[in-house]
Amino acid sequence: MENKLHVQDLRVSFHTSNGKVQAVRGINFDLAKGETLAIVGESGSGKSVTSKAILGILAGNSIVESGEIIYDGQDLLKISEEDFHKIRGDKIAMIFQDPMSSLNPIVRIGNQLTEAMILKGKIRQKESRNNFNGYLKVLNAKMVEACGDKSREAELTEKCKKFDKFEIEHTKLEAAYNIAHEGAEEALDDIEVIAFELEKNAPGKGAADRLKDIERYAKSSLHKYVVDPEVYRAEVEELAGSLSGKFKDKDYQGLLKSLYRLKEILSTGMGKGVPNFFRMGYYVTFSGQELPDMPIDELNEYLLKYLDENFMLEFLRDAEQALAYSAGITYGNIRTAIGELEKARAAFAREKLDKKECQATAKHLGEVVKNTIDPLAITKDSVVYTFLPGLKSELESYFGGVTGNVRILRKYEKEKRKYDALVAKGKKPGWELADAAVTDLELVKANISHLIDRLSAHYEQILSTSENRDYRAETIAVIDYLMANASGVVAKVTPQIAKQRAIKLMEEVGIAEPHKRYRQYPFEFSGGMRQRIVIAIALAANPDILICDEPTTALDVTIQSQILELINKLQKERQLSVIFITHDLGVVANMADRVAVMYAGKIVEYGTAEDIFYHAAHPYTWALMSSMPDLDTNEKLSAIPGTPPNMIYPPKGDAFAPRNKYAMKIDFERQPPMFQISDTHYAATWLLHPDAPKVDPPKAVMDRIARMNERRKSNDEQPGTSA
């Protein structure tokens, strides 16, 4: 599966007046596309700090000590605030714990929803234009180079221009169709709701508004390929126009009759099938004729033939050639780069690094590595893109450390003298001596060497897979990419469109009567509704990754259940990757594909939901599971004794050892490594060491697993009877 986010060795600390609080101490995880990763732990375990680091909204006194958060070919820890603006909220969005404090109390809901859309709209349009033009230009150049025939240059350039022209036409046609199609869909939904109420003879509060919606939507659905205006215009308009009047006269039977007729018309329109606008765009632009009048299936076939014969097959062939040609050049560059990397190693491996030499080497490497980026590749190669910034920041911290360490040590010694003097006098100082925060120069050097290793290995891997690349498939991906950007160029966001979209979003997240609600203030909403608004705002920019920081902790069971269902539904529809932070294991079981259990700034156990819930291996996970009651718990709950450790002085060994009744001597002395239990399941506890005594999970956990198995069995036998 495609990896969306990659977090490696993230360490975050906070400067406080008492010392340095180590909130996150080296965590690693990946997030795949369309996956939900749940992070579980007590408060103060570093869950929220991790998510804030991903979003770049850590508090001012924080220091990111090390690590990488790689998203879309960029290391989020090293990009500038300016660049972060393009990602935050747009690509990565967050739902916060408390819906009240994350909404502005004096701004109407509607304005809060559309604010980002309007702000981002123009920028996105510009970006799409740039992407489209830029890519087409490169493609054009490569096409000319690849065919090697100067005489075809004019012809190829003409083709690319053609593509530009009809692609824009295509998205325009499609946009018009979509509006009509959505209108019909919305109207049908509304008709269903109101017909249900009318049959019960009890129209709800919003019935009048809903009828107005139906009227508007039905009229907007008049389109050649949805509800044919030539046949139905008069009837639809008459039916839609009479709805409100009949409702006022309380003629519910008559109203129902009109609604059912309208439903029939709209349903036939919806069942017609979708025309292929890409082909249509070409035909409309270049044939100089009206579209032939035939059923949609036939029309699609006809247009396909026209497009292929006139343009597409040739274009595809040329584009494919260009891709293969460009890839060939890149492979050559990669081979040179591998050699250069090996040569450069020496400069970074000296006893004491030489600043001038290092900078020159870094500059040189930067150029070499830049050449290995294929200009026609659509997805950004994270490892290659992050290499140079990573190298630069490592060098910076090295040379910063060379000068800074001396100063820090001097200061530390001064304080130590003071401290020792107090102790010698027999007094108890009211403060403790924090270790000197010197930069470990050897570690930095090791990091640099690791960076080079990783890049070389990555290059080797690219070369080894070069044989079986499918250029045909890639060409089609290129066409898709161009299509997507072209639609971005056409999609304008005016305040009206933003409002329409916002209202649609509000409906999507389950807010009734969005037209009315749109103009209300946050305090007029209940807790669950407020959380829905927050979710709608987070989704307004159509993000890739959604971070949910305890989104349901403040809500009650029914609302919680609704919100979870909503997030699940939206995730499936939009292929979102979700990071879900919570301490409620029931919610985790509901949401998560994979689970990471955090304690004292570290991930102590990591695995799929099944691994964690049925085969938990870490004592902390056991403790969490046995400390919460479920519907069948009768015995005394086993609370976790004590409190989480003070992270100013993190424990030397396993952080959970003092609260762990299974702790062994080694737990207090050394930190356990991550032991691999299965392909997907890891846990950091000495209990998994081959020499450790065999320990069973506590009885409460075993009992619960047994009960779960039983319940599942009985559910399987008599389906549908579950409570």
Partner 1 sequence: MSNQEPLLKVEHLCQYFKAGNFVTKAVDDVSFDIKKGEVFGLVGESGCGKTTTGRSIIKLYNITSGNIIFKGQRIAAGTQGYKDAIKAAQEEMKTADAARKAELEAFIKKQKEEIKSAQHDQKHADKKLVTQIQMIFQDPIASLDPRMTVREIISEGLVIQGEKDKKVIDQKVYEMLELVGLVPEHASRYPHEFSGGQRQRIGVARSIIMNPEIIIADEPVSALDVSVQAQVINLLNELRERFGLTLLFIAHDLSVVKYFSDRIGVMYFGKMVEMADSDELFAHPLHPYTKSLLSAIPLPDPIYERQRKRITYNPLAEHDYTEDKPSFREVRPGHFVQCNEAEYRRIMEQLNGK
Kindly identify the residues of this chain, within the stretch 107-166, that bind partner 1 according to CB under 8 A: none
For residue 529, give every residue at least 6 positions away whose Cβ sits within 8 Å of its Cβ, in sequence order, or none.
511
Kindly identify the residues of this chain, within the stretch 234-273, that bind partner 1 according to CB under 8 A: none
Work out whether strand 74-75 and strand 62-71 pair parallel, antiparallel, or are unpaired: antiparallel
Residue choice 436, 628, 692, 695 for contact with partner 1 (CB under 8 A): 628
Residue 589 burial (10 A CB sphere; 0-12, 13-18, 19+)? middle
- Considering only the stretches 49-57, 280-288, 411-419, 578-586, report the one whose residues sit in contact with partner 1 under the rule CB under 8 A: 578-586
Q: Give the residue among 660, 596, 467 at the shortest CA–CA distance from 30.
A: 596
Residue choice 119, 433, 559, 666 for contact with partner 1 (CB under 8 A): 559
Residue choice 383, 623, 647, 684 for contact with partner 1 (CB under 8 A): 623
CA 547 to CA 674: how far, in whole Å? 25
Q: Is 228 in the site for partner 1 (CB under 8 A)?
A: no
Q: Is 94 in the site for partner 1 (CB under 8 A)?
A: no
Q: Is 723 in the site for partner 1 (CB under 8 A)?
A: yes
Kindly identify the residues of this chain, within the stretch 10-69, that bind partner 1 according to CB under 8 A: 42-43
- Considering only the stretches 109-117, 155-163, 212-220, 632-640, report the one whose residues sit in contact with partner 1 under the rule CB under 8 A: 632-640
User: Which residue number, 220 or 531, has a Cβ lying nearer to partner 1?
Assistant: 531
Least distance from C-beta 204 to partner 1, angstroms? 8
Binding-residue pattern over the window 582 to 611 for partner 1, x denoting contact by CB under 8 A: -xxxxxxxx-x----------------xx-
Kindly identify the residues of this chain, within the stretch 436-475, that bind partner 1 according to CB under 8 A: none
Question: CA–CA distance from 294 to each of 157, 297, 299, 302, 329 (Å)?
Answer: 34, 8, 6, 10, 47
Residue choice 104, 466, 643, 714 for contact with partner 1 (CB under 8 A): 643
Least distance from C-beta 664 to partner 1, angstroms? 22
Least distance from C-beta 555 to partner 1, angstroms? 7
Work out whether strand 602-608 and strand 682-683 pair parallel, antiparallel, or are unpaired: antiparallel
Binding-residue pattern over the window 661 to 700 for partner 1, x denoting contact by CB under 8 A: ----------------------------------------
Least distance from C-beta 719 to partner 1, angstroms? 9
Q: Mapped to the 3 state alphabet, what secondary structure does 527-546 carry?
A: HHHHHHHHHHHHHHCCCCEE
Least distance from C-beta 489 to partner 1, angstroms? 41
- Considering only the stretches 99-107, 282-290, 503-511, 581-589, report the one whose residues sit in contact with partner 1 under the rule CB under 8 A: 581-589
CA 585 to CA 592: how far, in whole Å? 10
- Considering only the stretches 350-358, 397-405, 472-480, 522-530, report the one whose residues sit in contact with partner 1 under the rule CB under 8 A: 522-530
Residue choice 576, 624, 683, 688 for contact with partner 1 (CB under 8 A): 624
Residue choice 26, 401, 527, 658 for contact with partner 1 (CB under 8 A): 527
CA 219 to CA 497: how far, in whole Å? 17
User: Which residue number, 7 or 588, has a Cβ lying nearer to partner 1?
Assistant: 588
Sheet with 3-16, side-by-side order of all strands: 19-32, 3-16, 62-71, 74-75
Residue choice 460, 524, 556, 669 for contact with partner 1 (CB under 8 A): 556
For residue 279, give every residue at least 6 positions away whose Cβ sits within 8 Å of its Cβ, in sequence order, or none.
300, 303, 304, 306, 307
CA 498 to CA 542: how far, in whole Å? 13
Is 238:222 a contact under the CB 8 Å cutoff?
Answer: no
Work out whether strand 594-599 and strand 675-676 pair parallel, antiparallel, or are unpaired: unpaired
- How many residues bind to partner 1 according to rule CB under 8 A? 55
User: Which residue number, 226 or 700, has a Cβ lying nearer to partner 1?
Assistant: 700
Q: Crossing angle of helices 153-199/471-490, nearest 10°?
A: 60
Which residues, in sequence order, are bridge partners of residue 25?
11
CA 295 to CA 385: how far, in whole Å? 49
Is 348:445 a contact under the CB 8 Å cutoff?
Answer: yes
Residue choice 305, 492, 699, 711 for contact with partner 1 (CB under 8 A): 711
Kindly identify the residues of this chain, within the stretch 186-205, that bind partner 1 according to CB under 8 A: 196-197, 200, 202, 204
Residue choice 227, 347, 395, 564 for contact with partner 1 (CB under 8 A): 564
CA 474 to CA 52: how far, in whole Å? 36
Residue choice 53, 113, 187, 640 for contact with partner 1 (CB under 8 A): 640
Least distance from C-beta 205 to partner 1, angstroms? 11
Q: Give the residue among 547, 489, 457, 484 at the shortest CA–CA distance from 31.
A: 547
Question: CA–CA distance from 341 to each of 333, 335, 338, 344, 365 (Å)?
Answer: 12, 10, 5, 5, 7
CA 193 to CA 703: how far, in whole Å? 46
Which residues of the chain form contacts with partner 1 (CB under 8 A)? 42-43, 196-197, 200, 202, 204, 526-528, 555-562, 564-565, 583-590, 592, 609-610, 613, 623-625, 627-631, 633-634, 636-640, 643, 704, 708, 711-712, 715, 722-723
